[in-house]
Structure formats: C-alpha cells, structure tokens
Structure 1
C-alpha cells in the first residue's frame, strides 16, 4: 500500500462516508447550549467560593 492510497483511505474513514457523515444527535444548538450552561455553572460555583467575607 502506497502513501497516497493510505492517505485516501484515511480521509474516507475520517469523513464517515459509510454512515452518511453528520449525525442527528449532534445538534449544534443543543451542544452549544449545553456547553454554555456548563460554563455558566462553573462560573457561578467559582464566584460562590471566591466571595470576600
């Protein structure tokens, strides 16, 4: 197997050509909203423990 054919096979594998590429479970709005919620929760916890008394 030569280097160009191996690279072509890896690109095909990375694209997920057999499975259609995109997955319905990876909705960008839900993913982004979940990440935003997690970061806001971490920010709230950090400020909760960082208050001057």
Structure 2
C-alpha cells in the first residue's frame, strides 16, 4: 500500500510540474521549490525531471 501512495504522490507532483512549466516557470526556480515543498531526495528529483 505504501508503494501505491508513493507512486500516487509522484504522479501528482509530475502533474504540478507540468502545470508550472506550462505557466512559464523556469526549471531553475521550479526544482528547488518542488524539492523543498515535498522533501524529495536528489534521486527522486532526477526521476521527476528526466
């Protein structure tokens, strides 16, 4: 069950990243905000921004 929750969280974050990109927010600003807000590891960030 924890894996399902984690997968759902990552999908929600991906959706938010897509929305922010579509609204013109630069990745340089986006990455640190996302990482801090969701307490993500560097590995998780690499997965989200590949």
Higher helix share: 2
Normalised to the residue count of structure 2, the TM-score between the two structures is 0.47
Q: Which has the higher contact order (CA 8 A, sep 6+)?
A: 2
Normalised to the residue count of structure 1, the TM-score between the two structures is 0.44
Which of the two has higher C-alpha Rg? 1
